[in-house]
Amino acid sequence: MNCRHCRTRLQHTFLDLGFAPPSNAYLNSKDLNKPETYFPLRIFVCDQCWLVQTEDFTQADQLFKADYAYFSSTSSGWLRHAASYSKKMIKELALSNNSYVIEVASNDGYLLTNFVQADIPCLGIEPTASTAIAAEKLGIPVLQEFFGEALAKKLSDDGKQADLIAGNNVFAHVPDINDFTLGLKAALKEGGTITLEFPHLMRLIEQTQFDTVYHEHFSYLSLYTVSRIFESAGLRVYDVEQLSTHGGSLRVYGCHETDTRQGTAALGAILLKEETQGLRKLETYQGFQGCADKVKDELLSFLIEQKRAGKTVVAYGAAAKGNTLLNYAGVKPDLLSFVCDAAESKQGKFMPGSHIPILPPSTLLEAQPDYVLILPWNIAAEVRAQNATLAEQGIKFVTAVPELVIA
| Cα 3 off chain centre by | 21
pLDDT, residue 216, reads: 87
Q: Left (φ > 0), alpha (ψ -120 to 50) or beta: where does 246 sit?
A: left
Q: At what angle do helices 288-308 and 320-329 cross, to 10 degrees?
A: 80
Phi, psi of 22 (to 5 degrees): -55, 135
CA distance 407 to 399: 8
For the chain, domains (ranges, CATH) are 146-285 (3.40.50.150), 289-406 (3.40.50.720)
pLDDT, residue 98, reads: 97
Helices (H), 1-109: 60-63, 76-92
State pTM to two decimals. 0.90
CA distance 397 to 342: 17
Count of CB atoms situated within 10 Å of the CB of 148? 19
Question: DSSP code of 308?
Answer: H
Cis amide leading into 40 (omega within 30): no
| Cα 229 off chain centre by | 19
CA distance 308 to 305: 5
Question: DSSP code of 221?
Answer: B
CA distance 375 to 361: 14
pLDDT, residue 116, reads: 96
pLDDT in tens, 219-262: 999 999 999 999 999 999 999 999 998 889 999 999 999 999 99
| Cα 98 off chain centre by | 32
CA distance 188 to 193: 7
Query: For residue 70, with 0-12 CB atoms within 10 Å meaning exposed, 13-18 middle and 19 or more buried, which class applies?
Result: buried
pLDDT, tens digit only, all 407 positions of the chain: 999 999 999 999 999 999 999 988 999 999 999 999 999 999 999 999 999 999 876 554 555 454 555 677 777 888 999 999 999 999 999 999 999 999 999 999 999 999 999 999 999 999 989 899 999 999 999 999 999 999 999 999 999 999 999 999 999 999 999 999 999 999 999 999 999 999 999 999 999 999 999 998 999 999 999 999 999 999 999 999 999 988 899 999 999 999 999 999 999 999 999 999 999 999 999 999 999 999 999 999 999 999 999 999 999 999 999 999 999 999 999 999 999 999 898 999 999 999 999 999 999 999 999 999 999 999 999 999 999 999 999 999 999 999 999 98
